[in-house]
Every structure is written in structure tokens, then in C-alpha cells.
Amino acid sequence: MCVLAWGICAAVAVGTLLVPGSFSAAPAMVLGAAGAASLIGALLWAPALHVDDDGIDVDNIVRRFHVPWAALIHVDTRYALQLHTPGRLIAVTAAPAPGAGASLRAARIQRRHGGVAEVDLRPGDLPTTDSGRAAALVRGRWRQLRDAGLIEAGVADATPVGVRPYTRNLALMAIGAAALVASVLLV
């Protein structure tokens, strides 16, 4: 989706520049396209989920989280992939739950490929959705580490969850917004 939006920004910029007499607006157009591309990248490309043996790293739009496996209590997919820790619920922007139409399509694909549609299965848990794939990845690694005895039980309350601002992404959004404002002022 991000690449498609970047392509649209580029096409609009190039198309506008090809119009006769538009060369005076070229700096504003390039600056506006770069600002829009920067904002699109910050909102759609930057959110991420990384799973390894140390824990789960969540990069949302403005904050980054490090959830050690010992701090994880529950994994849910109500509105997005959600990681429950003591006193905190972390929604993963990179793994949203599907909307109504996508839920129906995902359930149909699941049934077509031999999957059994469970009555209590949330649409966000379907393996053909973003949140379902991410939840399966997190739950699978969590189960693997727990079964191997690598996660200490009963220490979730004492295990800190790392939270810090996503400074690179915040800077990208600020630069993008400033470029858009500057492009409007240049016109």
C-alpha cells in the first residue's frame, strides 16, 4: 500500500510538471511530493513487529516497545494484534485486524483451503489476515520458548517492558509536514 501511495505521489508530481507553464511551480511540487512521501512512509512503512528469542520488538508510529517473553501474559487480535503485559496493552500497528469484508474473504479462503471455521475464532485470528499471521508467529515462538523452559513463569510483574519514542519516525513525520507546509507557501 505504501509503495502504491508513493507511486501515486510521483505520478501526480511528474504529471503536473509536464503541464506547459508549470515549471514555476516545480520546486513547490517536488517539495510537496517529498513531504507526502515522507508522511506516507512514516505512517505505512515504518510500523513493524520483530520476534526473536529475547522478546518482541514493536515499532508503532510514535513509540517503540520491547516486550520480553517473561512479561507477556496474553496475545489477542481484537482490533489489531494486542500484547498484554502487567499494566499495559500494546496494540501492534503493523498487524491490524481485518475489516468486515476482509474477514469474510479470509474466512472463505480458510474454508476453501481445508481450514475448519471455528465458532469462537475471531476474524483477526484467521491465518490469512495480518493480525492472524502475526499472532500465530508470536504465539508459536512463545510456546516454543516456554516448552523449552527458557521463559521463567511468575515473573511478569517484575519484568520491565521497554518503551521509548520512535524518534526517527517522529523526525520523518515532522520533516514531511514541514515540507508540505513549505510547498503550499511556495505556490
User: In this structure, are 93 and 153 located in the same domain?
Assistant: yes
User: In this structure, are 98 and 151 located in the same domain?
Assistant: yes
pLDDT in tens, the chain (187 residues): 889 988 988 888 788 778 777 777 778 888 888 899 999 999 999 999 999 999 999 999 999 999 999 999 999 998 899 999 998 999 999 998 877 776 666 667 666 766 555 545 677 777 778 888 999 999 999 999 999 999 988 899 999 999 999 999 999 999 999 999 998 898 7
Lay out the sheet containing 162-165: strands in order across: 48-51, 55-59, 63-68, 162-165
User: In this structure, are 15 and 107 located in the same domain?
Assistant: no
Q: Residue 119: its pLDDT value, please?
A: 46
Q: Residue 50: its pLDDT value, please?
A: 96
3-state secondary structure of 34: helix
User: In this structure, are 114 and 147 located in the same domain?
Assistant: yes
Q: Residue 139: its pLDDT value, please?
A: 95
User: In this structure, are 119 and 77 located in the same domain?
Assistant: yes
User: In this structure, are 34 and 55 located in the same domain?
Assistant: no
**Number of domains comprising the chain:** 2
Q: Residue 102: its pLDDT value, please?
A: 65
Q: Residue 1: its pLDDT value, please?
A: 84
User: In this structure, are 15 and 106 located in the same domain?
Assistant: no
Closest CA to 31 of 20, 43, 39, 42: 39
User: In this structure, are 64 and 143 located in the same domain?
Assistant: yes
Give the whole-angstrom CA distance, residue 133 versus residue 135. Answer: 6
Q: Residue 170: its pLDDT value, please?
A: 96
138 lies in which domain range? 49-165
User: In this structure, are 81 and 128 located in the same domain?
Assistant: yes
DSSP string, 164-177: EE-HHHHHHHHHHH
Q: Residue 97: its pLDDT value, please?
A: 83
